[in-house]
Amino acid sequence: MENVAVVGYGLSKFGERWEAGLKELVSEAAVAAINNAGIESKEIQSLFTGSMSSGRFANQEHLGALVADQLGLIPIPSVRVEAACASGGVAVRQAYIALASGAYDLALVVGVEKMTDVHVGHATTTLGTAGDYEWEVFHGATFPALYAMMARRHIHDFGTTEEQMALVSVKNHSNGSKNKFAQFQNLITVDAVLNSSVVASPLKLLDCSPITDGAAAIVLASEDLAKKLTDAPVWIAGSAQASDTLALHDRESLTSLKATRVAAEDAYKQANVTPGEIKLAEVHDCFSIAEILAIEDLGFFKKGVGGKSIEEGETQLNSKVSINTSGGLKACGHPVGATGVKQIVELTMQLRDEAGNRQVSNADIGLAHNVGGSGATAVVHILRR
């Protein structure tokens, strides 16, 4: 297997981008990544685009060829990768595998979703198609409801509190306030979270990630080329993915995502590191409870003590493990197909000491965790400077 590094990154502004279409979002992020890598677009040999549901959100399918056309990359091979909210992370992994196998030396990965042009009811149902439609969504169990059930069980089994969940959102808004690309850059308080409107009890508006337009892009290169292109390659030390049942009722547990645990174990083994060595992680906080599940399932904290660890400040910027320095899905926003790529962008900025006032000191190893649906897909990447 060839070693593979991230050599360039770019983002569009995340948010309600009513003035920009899907193609403009792609261009914003991809052109920034190509410029950041210092390459010419004609050097790119292969293109991977993560997008969950461009057909339902933006009436546009066939994104592989569309993105190649938009970026002037015709006729290189180009594919769209779909794995619900993990589409971006899985696109990164597919590109990594293509380069590690020696098939290509230089690839561009784009993640994109244009979600706000449809009514929120349509957006919620579209997101729900990532669950088991027959057993869950048809009966009204949309994603906030599914994660609310996980939260209820975590509260029941471990005594996790709604205040602890609220602290996840407070921290992520604080990190997002330092990120000019984030959808929300305002600070919030625990009281504001607790008093925001109930979406699916115990989850309130400010426990939820928003509906977002946005795109992210990275340039990946094989070892020899990466060393020629940059003095600061960020190496992919581990790349792993696992699957689970779509329907919650078929799972072994409501308080742990097995796909996350399996993917993390594999990624740690590949990178030859332990969870304790990870300095920062971008984890999939689609709802506040999801961040608590993630930091436990990734092995940063024991099962059941995630909420307490957050209360004790152990996931703040420059604490034991800095979690979601970008603002996470909660504050940076969650354009579903872009999220997994944005996580790699954030880690790359951090590992190159380019994260400005949210820089983690001595950042040398970071982890990205991207989940599809309520946990049926999980992809974990470990990056090293």
Catalytic residue among 173, 334, 369, 381: 334
Catalytic residue among 85, 208, 286, 332: 85
Complex with ligand COA: residue 47 or 130, whichever CB lies closer: 130
Q: Is the separation of the CB atoms in 349 and 325 below 8 Å? A: no
Examine residue 143 and tell whether it contacts ligand COA (CB under 6 A).
Answer: yes
- Pick 85 or 109: Cβ nearer ligand COA: 85
Q: Which is nearer to ligand COA, 306 or 375 (CB)?
A: 375
Closest by CA position to 248, among listed 142, 159, 157, 155? 142
- Our answer to whether residue 208 is catalytic in this structure is no
Min separation Cβ 122 and ligand COA, Å? 11
The phi, psi pair for 296, rounded to 5°, reads: -80, -50
Q: Is 31 in the site for ligand COA (CB under 6 A)?
A: no
Interface with ligand COA includes 175 (CB under 6 A)? Answer: no
Radius of gyration of the CA atoms of the chain, in A: 19
CB of 221 to ligand COA, least distance (A): 32
Dig out the tokens for 89 from the structure.
């992370």
Give φ, ψ of 79 to 5 degrees.
Answer: -130, 150
From 210, 238, 299, 328, residue interacting with ligand COA (rule: CB under 6 A): 210
Residue 14 binds ligand COA (CB under 6 A): no
If one asks whether residue 283 binds ligand COA (CB under 6 A), the answer comes out as: no
Q: Please, what is the minimum distance in Å from the beta carbon of residue 84 to ligand COA? A: 8
What is the rounded CA–CA span in Å between residue 251 and residue 242? 14
Q: How many residues bind ligand COA (CB under 6 A)?
A: 16
**Whether 85 is catalytic:** yes
Q: What is the b/e burial string over 123-157, where b = at least 16 CB atoms within 10 angstroms of the residue's CB?
A: bbebbbebbbeeebbeeebbbbbbbbbbbbbbbee
Minimum distance of ligand COA from residue 300's CB (angstroms): 21
Instruction: Provide the residue type at 67 as one letter.
Output: V
Amino acid at 33: A
Of 47-55, 95-103, 206-214, 346-354, the window that binds ligand COA (rule: CB under 6 A) is: 206-214
Distance CA 136, CA 246 (A): 9
Instruction: Enumerate residues 323-352 that contact ligand COA by CB under 6 A.
Output: 334
Token pair in block for residue 186: 């305002």
- Residue 205 in the binding site for ligand COA (CB under 6 A): yes
- d(CA 381, CA 263) in angstroms, rounded, equals 9
Q: Are strands 234-243 and 46-50 parallel, antiparallel or unpaired?
A: unpaired
Give residues in contact with ligand COA (CB under 6 A): 85, 120, 124, 127, 143-144, 184, 199, 205-206, 208-211, 286, 334
